[in-house]
């Protein structure tokens, strides 16, 4: 049985696909996990993992020498940690902590597969691509990649939790517009601050219910008072992994544009208004959203151009004429009609067995 090491860490955008990959591969391979403390909080307790911490230094160019020293130290630790560890393949789902682990695996002449869910290659993956065998991605037109490495691109369907394929969408029609607002694993302070007024404005004209993820630090009971005062049915929550597995009967979503969030909404055929996080590295959230926008599956609102009433205008237009909405919903359905857990599972197992 082949042994596979999955390296991941940092945000949910890196870790959640790693968990889903683990669940796809665990029955046919001996799979182990390397992650950091930040990433470990997303893992279910039953999944064993090795905590491998790498210091992160953001922004300040004066810290570059310290950053180089830190990564060199992490590389040495990676060499020592992997020494004698028997594995055939390393899969890295990105993040700064995977950088030294991938380099150490290369020294030990292991096969290296990178995973890139975004529509533009991440900076770590861009550097590490020269050392890798292949890069698995959702977008065959992956941006930012050197053309000499185009032969390393393997396009795969989104890797989602198995629950997304097991749950049936509830198409109940009770004349209530059900709106989901999600900000991903990092939540969205902008959504929490700005969108309440938009929802209240909509409720003056339409019967709606809202399910909204709040940023940590906001008190749910206090936040919901304005919704209750305006007779808006509401369910407020903090970030929940695989939230859509348990509740998926929404008519429309307002979402940040992390690759996993958009893939989940797409699979559940929920048309969405994408508001990309404007400070995402290399503007990758905008490019993630644009991929769906170009397929006529969503709307895009850029935060820098956001004005009060923008959400109202889009939703009101949908309610007046549903042709555009229905077209987007149909396009999402076509995009995912052949993506089953069994097909994706078979493809991944065959691929890693052959390589």
User: Per residue in 281-331, pLDDT tens?
Assistant: 899 999 999 999 999 999 999 999 999 899 999 999 999 999 999 999 999
**pLDDT at residue 130, as a whole number:** 94
pLDDT-derived band of residue 251, with 50, 70 and 90 as boundaries?
very high
Whether pLDDT at 170 is above 70: no
- The domain covering 3-157+339-354 belongs, at the CATH homologous superfamily level, to Glycogen Phosphorylase B; (3.40.50.2000)
SS3 for the chain, per residue? CCEEEEECCCCHHHHHHHHHHHHHHCCCCEEEEEECHHHHCCCCCCCCCEECCCCCCCCCHHHHHHHHHHHHHHHHHHHHHHCCCCCCEEEECCCCCHHHHHHHHHHCCCEEEEEECCCECCHHHHHHHHHCCEEEECCCCCECCCHHHHHHEEECCCCCCCHHHHCCCCCCCCCCEEEEEECCCCCCHHHHHHHHHHHHHHHCCCCEEEEEECCCCCCHHHHCHHHHHCCCEEEEECCCCCHHHHCCCCCEEEECCCHHHHHHHHHCCCCEEECCCCCCHHHHHHHHHHHHHHCCCEEECCHHHCCCCHHHHHHHHHHHCCHHHHHHHHHHHHHHCCCCHHHHHHHHHHHHHHC
Size of the chain, expressed as the number of residues it contains: 355
Which strands make up the sheet holding 233-237, listed edge to edge? 233-237, 208-213, 177-182, 252-255, 272-274, 298-300
Q: For residue range 149-168, what is the model confidence (pLDDT) as tens digits?
A: 999 999 999 999 999 987 55
**pLDDT at residue 354, as a whole number:** 86
Whether pLDDT at 89 is above 90: yes
Q: What residues contact 163, with CB distance under 8 A and at least 6 apart?
A: 242, 245
**pLDDT at residue 111, as a whole number:** 96
Domains 3-157+339-354 and 165-336 share a fold: yes
Whole-model pTM: value is 0.91
pLDDT-derived band of residue 64, with 50, 70 and 90 as boundaries?
confident
Q: Which residue would you say has higher pLDDT here, 166 or 229? A: 229
**pLDDT at residue 239, as a whole number:** 86
Average pLDDT value over all residues in the chain = 90
Q: What residues contact 242, with CB distance under 8 A and at least 6 apart?
A: 161, 163, 164, 264
pLDDT-derived band of residue 114, with 50, 70 and 90 as boundaries?
very high
Most confident of 44-58, 66-80, 321-335: 321-335
Whether pLDDT at 172 is above 60: no
Average pLDDT over every residue of 102-121: 95
**pLDDT at residue 265, as a whole number:** 95
**pLDDT at residue 245, as a whole number:** 84
Please give the angle made by the CA atoms of 127, 26 and 23, to the nearest 5 degrees. Answer: 75
Q: Does domain 165-336 have CATH number 3.40.50.2000?
A: yes
Q: Which two tokens stand for residue 67?
A: 């950053």
Phi, psi for residue 135 in degrees, rounded to 5: -130, 125
Average pLDDT over every residue of 262-279: 95
User: Among residues 281, 240, 237, which one has the least CA distance to residue 259?
Assistant: 281
**pLDDT at residue 94, as a whole number:** 81
Burial class (CB in 10 A: 0-12, 13-18, 19+), 38: middle
Burial class (CB in 10 A: 0-12, 13-18, 19+), 146: exposed
The structural domains of the chain, with segments of one domain joined by +, span 3-157+339-354, 165-336
């Amino acid at each position: 049985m082949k042994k596979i090491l999955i390296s991941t860490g940092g945000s949910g955008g890196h870790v959640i696909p790693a968990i889903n990959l683990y669940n796809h591969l665990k029955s046919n391979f001996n799979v182990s996990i390397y992650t950091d403390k930040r990433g470990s909080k997303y893992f279910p307790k039953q999944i064993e993992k090795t905590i491998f911490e790498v210091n992160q230094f953001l922004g300040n160019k004066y810290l570059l020498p310290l950053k180089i020293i830190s990564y060199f130290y992490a590389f040495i630790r990676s060499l020592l940690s992997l020494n004698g560890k028997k594995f055939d393949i390393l899969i890295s789902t990105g993040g700064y902590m995977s950088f030294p682990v991938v380099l150490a695996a290369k020294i030990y002449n292991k096969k290296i597969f990178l995973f890139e869910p975004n529509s533009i290659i991440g900076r770590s993956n861009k550097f590490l691509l020269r050392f890798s065998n292949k890069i698995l991605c959702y977008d065959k037109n992956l941006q930012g990649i050197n053309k000499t490495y185009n032969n390393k691109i393997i396009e795969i369907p989104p890797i989602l939790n198995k629950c997304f394929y097991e749950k049936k969408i509830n198409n109940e029609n009770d004349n209530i517009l059900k709106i989901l607002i999600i900000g991903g694993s990092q939540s969205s302070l902008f959504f929490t601050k700005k969108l309440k007024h938009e929802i209240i404005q909509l409720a003056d004209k339409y019967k709606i219910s809202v399910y909204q993820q709040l940023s940590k630090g906001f008190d749910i009971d206090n936040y919901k008072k304005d919704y209750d005062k305006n007779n808006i049915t509401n369910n407020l929550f903090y970030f929940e992994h695989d939230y859509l597995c348990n509740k998926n009967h929404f008519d429309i979503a307002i979402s940040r544009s992390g690759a996993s969030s958009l893939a989940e909404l797409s699979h559940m055929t929920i048309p969405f208004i994408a508001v990309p996080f404007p400070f995402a590295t290399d503007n990758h959230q905008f490019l993630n959203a644009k991929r769906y926008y170009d397929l006529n599956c969503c709307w895009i609102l850029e935060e820098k151009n956001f004005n009060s009433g923008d959400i109202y205008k889009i939703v009101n237009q949908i309610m007046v004429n549903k042709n555009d909405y229905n077209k987007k919903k149909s396009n999402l359905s076509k995009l995912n009609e052949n993506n089953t857990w069994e097909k994706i599972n078979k493809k991944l197992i065959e691929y890693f067995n052959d390589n």
